[in-house]
Amino acid sequence: MRRPVALRLQATLATAVVGVAVAVAMPTPQASAAVGTATGYASQNGGTTGGAGGQTVRATTGTAIHTALCNRASSSTPIVIEVSGTINHGNTAKVSGSSCNTAAGVIELKEISNVTIIGVGGGAVFDQLGIHIRDSRNIIIQNVTVRNVKKSGSPTSNGGDAIGMESTVRNIWVDHVTLEASGGEAEGFDGLFDMKDDTQYVTLSYSILRNSGRGGLIGSSESDRSNSFITFDHNLYENIDSRTPLLRGGVAHMYNNHYSGLHESGINSRAGARAKVENNYFRNSKDVLGTFYTNERGTWQVGGNIFDNVTWSAPGNENYPAGPNPTSTTTVAIPYSYRLDGASCVPDIVRQTAGANTGLRTSDGNCAPQSPPPTTPTPTTPAPTTPPPTTTSPPPPSGTNLSLASGAGADGSSKADGTSYGNVRDASLGTWWSPSGSTGTISIKWGSATRVSRVVIREPSGTQGSIGSWQLVNNDTGAVLASGSGAGSITFAATSLQKINFKINSSNGTPRVGEFETYAS
């Protein structure tokens, strides 16, 4: 008979004491913005930058976190909240304001955008207090511990989820966090990392999820299939019964994760879901991949995984394990670039990099940890580079920028949430257009034929290099005026046209065009 999670914890925690002591003793970077750049699906759909460029505020209580949100000029004003100390029910009250919608007993990120919460100093611990993200976008949570959040008993918070997302949530990057419970549902706990009701473009990276009955879900029921585009990489799932994660109807990418001690089931792809599962290490676990507890089956693409002492149940009604010899049942195209560590080194590289207070180290893609570069107190100011960043180079051409002329307009093939075609002709690099995927077309047009011989494509600060290969096309005739790669100045034979297309054929992540300038000479 399977022992309850609470009983199994005694042995697991006893053997982990030495490892925990080492992790706590390691240095934590002082930071004024998120360290590193969002990866995986969080890098798509316009990208995830959190509060970059906004004011930096220090908080040592939950009330202070809420106050920082409520003191912003608007609900979308960027802000970086550096957190240290222990955040709990005793110091987390509701705060009111026009730029926030908070509640007591939970960190409420509701109906807001452009926020970074990062642990600094000696560490940030959310004790029995969950983080709730609802109707929000562009949020980064980094270098924090969330533990023992309950849905029953006392005190309760966030429905028992350590981090929970629901109701039209977009672009969330959760990185180098530790999420843990002290048992399963019978002990009052629910999921460690839950997404439901239209949550998309989320990455969970370099994190630890342990000692819980449920790792997390994507979709709250078989009919909740609007959640998708989730990446899990370099995470440790340890001593968990099931849901690592449970995936309903969406697309997810799991690579270079270490799964150890999964007692009932692991990655549960069901209700039409599609999971790409590659170069993971599964150890001492049962039924680590398949469709479980339903006859509405999901699919998976597998490759490069290691199954070390993994047992598989016999298939039957509402039980469709992928093993003992997992093979692919679908294919999943991944739109972003990523570096795969070999599965054999995953336990070691994850041990050295995952979780809060581990120095925010990442893998170099060759099974070796690397420390993040130093951060600066002014993240909106680009460091000097050669050549200079796009904001200062190339210099403005002589003459009038025809894109800003009266009667000019812009359109395109698609646009990511939060971006606009018109942002490429507003004389500001603080706004931009991105396609809904990694490729797309942005156009400048006029009411009558206009003579053009030079185009300047400018990327927003900090995003240089995202544009790959491109073609400049005369929309009137379909003729290719020029082709190349990267942003910058483009010259070509003077042409009279009513509409000119900048067609991006490849990119590094999601491309961004801050300005599409056009000139007669």
List active site positions: 243
Strand partners, 409: 445
Burial class (CB in 10 A: 0-12, 13-18, 19+), 400: exposed
φ, ψ for residue 43 (rounded to 5)?
A: -85, -10
DSSP state of 330: S
* Residues whose CB falls within 8 Å of the CB of residue 388, separated by 6 or more in sequence, listed in order: none
Q: Residue for token digits 């809420």?
A: 66
CA 33: distance to chain centroid? 15
E strand or H helix at 8: helix 5-25
Q: Between β-strands 274-278 and 299-303, what pairing exists: parallel, antiparallel or unpaired?
A: parallel
Burial class (CB in 10 A: 0-12, 13-18, 19+), 210: buried
- Token look-up 């003992």 returns 324
CA distance from start to end of the chain: 80
Among all chains, which residue has been given the structure tokens 């879901």?
A: 273
> Which pair of structure tokens corresponds to residue 345?
């080194």
Place of tokens 């995003």: 463
Using alpha carbons, list the distances in angstroms from residue 351 to 54, 55, 425, 458: 33, 34, 47, 41
DSSP letter (8 states) at residue 242: E
Phi, psi angle pair for 36, to nearest 5°: 85, -175
CB contact at 8 A, 86 and 121: no
Q: Angle 385-388-392 (CA atoms, 0-180°, nearest 5)?
A: 145
- C-alpha–C-alpha distance, residues 68 and 64, integer Å: 6
How distant is the alpha carbon of residue 18 from its chain centre? 31
8 Å CB contact between 124 and 143:
yes
